[in-house]
A and B are shown apart, each in its own frame.
Chain A
């Protein structure tokens, strides 16, 4: 994660350091990288958060660690570093992009409203804090407001991958607030105890100081006044946020349902249209689809999953899918049957890949898919009479063949043999030894 723009000085520079060590002093000691020309841009690929430090480092030729240290130190002591960093994140475009996040944020009216709400809330909290006598907070007050506001705008308007970065940075904090693991509860209890001790000591130390009580009373009235004025507005912002979030969840759910329906119901309907001349097949398809839909709606089992499916049903599923998606008839035959476990699911996944390959690339008019469950092993053969290929000539980075078929089988203790002759076709033989966990079906 911690990447430098240039991890080591170029080799050619090394002797010069030895010869003129006295020349390297001051800032030049940190000038490790080449200086980039052109405007200042954020370098997300080298960055930890928004890539601001990396961008500054690249622009000035300073070491990125130094730039980061400056930001952190100024952030801790005055809050200025944090505000400057977040503003830069908001206003400086990322490398390779024309506009900054800020440009987009100005058109986001709800985002601006939300920012105003958050900022005003923080200002009120800061007022309370200064009234009860925590003056050290006031030094970070304005940077804090700016940081929070800018973060809200970034969070709402940044591209997805930058939002993911924010999410990652925020996760530990949110985790402490919302998590329920033992460690997080301990952290929460410790923080609460600290606050309690500080609060009680303040209260106890000022027990007889009526001026303080008067002050607190006045503060309470001011806060109440502010709440009366701004409270409904804050509530509305919060409610809008909830509504927006719900809408997003609903949209995601709809997309998920659409994808599942497409993979199951729509595909079956397409198959039924193509098999319209064969009533028996149509009935079969409709029945299978009905069963699948029911198990999805009432048992929560997602369509297309192989859970609770037998070997023969899995082979039929592959046949239907490949026929529907690639338009090449698959002659699927199963001898014997057994329940599926993880090994056999992997076997089916490999068989599916081989069948898809055959229908996509072989050019054959029909693909034969034959599965046989024997007492000691399950074998699947995928054969086409297409153009064939030379297995030795396939580049090793072709994922379909190597990863999906060979590796998948090998991981589970099975084997895959691919026999192909150019001009005559291809046969993929997959074998998986059987374990006791796969009871046979009559």
Chain B
């Protein structure tokens, strides 16, 4: 990792809408160091490999394919680059695909400037960022696949602990990590741990139920 001299995270914005990129840039202001922009999969891969940012703000939908293509192309050679998915799309299968490819979090484009800055610095610090929407998707995915007719192949990875559920539920209800910590009488760090553990399960779970769940959601 190579943080910028001022300690601000170095950020690349990948989105096919120029207006949106400049909007995000001005929202972020001086609190992060935006070192570049890209508008499609190929230029993004090239730019990220060359400049090695701390965080890539990645649109889920790009003209040349899904955002997960960028992540898979970069991850092998540059595992230290972290991705934060940023999308107006609320389709669960897209969100889950990007998260499973390796994004550290997902926020919607309706997020406010300060919240986005906060999310970027959390991702830069190695934590994960769950928007209420993502928390809802994950709860739904793990709930609907844990029926008695579909036994979990790997209980360690295929099920959420009651505490993780509780944390996700509070995120879905609109609580911040700090508020969750106060609500559950645990430290903010512990909340982070739970969320990261959920993220790991989401990424590592080999069950095809997740895919199946996403497909069902699309049909519903």
Do these two chains interact? yes
* A366-B110, A368-B173, A385-B174 given; A280·B136 CB < 8 A: no
Evaluate whether A329 and B143 lie within 8 angstroms (CB atoms) in the complex, with A370-B173, A383-B174 already known: no
Indicate whether B73 reaches chain A with its CB closer than 8 angstroms: no
Q: Name the residue on B nearest A280 (C-beta).
A: B89
**Contact string, B162-206, partner A, CB cutoff 8 A, digits 1/0?**
000000010011110000000000000000000000000000000
A383: nearest residue on chain B (CB-CB)? B174
| Known A336-B140, A383-B173, A441-B220: A368·B110 in contact at CB below 8 Å | no
B156 contacts chain A at the CB level, 8 A cutoff: no
- CB A423 to nearest CB in B, in angstroms, measures 14
B51 proximity list for chain A (CB < 8 A): none
A333-B135, A441-B220 known; A370-B174 Cβ under 8 A: yes
- Among B131-169, those with CB < 8 Å from A are 132-133, 135-136, 139-140, 143-144, 169
Q: Which residue in chain B gives the minimum CB-CB distance to A333?
A: B136
CB < 8 Å: which of B91, B143, B172, B175 contacts A333? Answer: B172
CA of A333 to CA of B90, assembled, Å: 10
The reply to whether the CB of B112 lies closer than 8 angstroms to some CB of chain A is yes
Which residues does chain A contribute within 8 Å of B139, judged by CB atoms? 335, 372
Given A366-B110, A370-B173, is A280 in contact with B91 using a C-beta cutoff of 8 Å? Answer: yes
- Nearest chain-B residue to A375 (Cβ)? B143
Chain B contacts for A333, CB-based, 8 A: 132-133, 135-136, 172
- Chain A nearest CB from B177 CB (Å) reads 14
- Bound-complex Cα distance A372 to B137 (A): 11
Asked whether A335 lies within 8 Å of B173 as measured between CB atoms, the reply is no
What separation, in Å, do the CA atoms of A439 and B208 have in the docked complex?
Answer: 25
**With an 8 A cutoff between CB atoms, is A244 at the interface?**
no
Contact B143 A335 (CB under 8 A): yes
Chain A residues within 8 Å of chain B by Cβ, number: 23
Nearest-neighbour CB distance to chain A for B171, whole angstroms, equals 9
* A337–B219 alpha-carbon span in the complex (Å): 14
User: A335 touching B216 by the CB < 8 A rule?
Assistant: no
B35 at the interface (CB under 8 A from A): no
Indicate if the CB atoms of B169 and A331 lie closer than 8 Å: no
- Select B172's contact among A337, A370, A442, beta carbons within 8 Å: A370
Q: What residues of chain A lie closer than 8 Å to B90, measured between beta carbons? A: 280-281
B37-65 with Cβ < 8 A to chain A: none
CA distance A228 to B128 in the complex (A): 94
Whether A331 lies near B174 (C-beta < 8 A) is: yes
What separation, in Å, do the CA atoms of A334 and B136 have in the docked complex? Answer: 7
Interface string of A79-106 (1 = CB under 8 A from B): 0000000000000000000000000000
Question: Once the chains bind, are A335 and B112 in contact (CB under 8 Å)?
Answer: no
Cβ–Cβ < 8 Å partners of B88 in chain A:
277-278, 280-281
CB 8 Å contact bits of A325-368 with B (1 = contact, 0 = none): 00001010111110000000000000000000000000001101
Known: A277-B88, A368-B174, A441-B220. A329 touches B136 (CB 8 A): no
Q: What are the 3 closest A-B residue pairs judged by CB atoms, nearest first? A: A368-B174, A333-B136, A383-B174
- A333-B133, A334-B140, A370-B136 given; 16 more Cβ-contact pairs under 8 Å: A329-B110, A331-B110, A331-B132, A333-B135, A333-B172, A335-B143, A336-B140, A336-B143, A336-B144, A365-B112, A368-B174, A370-B173, A381-B174, A384-B174, A385-B174, A442-B220
Residues of A within 8 A of B (CB): 277-278, 280-281, 329, 331, 333-337, 365-366, 368, 370, 372, 381, 383-385, 427, 441-442
Chain B interface residues (CB < 8 Å from chain A): 88-91, 110, 112, 132-133, 135-136, 139-140, 143-144, 169, 172-175, 216, 220
Could you list some 12 contacts between A and B, CB below 8 A? Answer: A277-B88, A281-B88, A329-B110, A331-B174, A334-B136, A335-B140, A335-B143, A336-B144, A368-B132, A368-B173, A370-B174, A372-B172
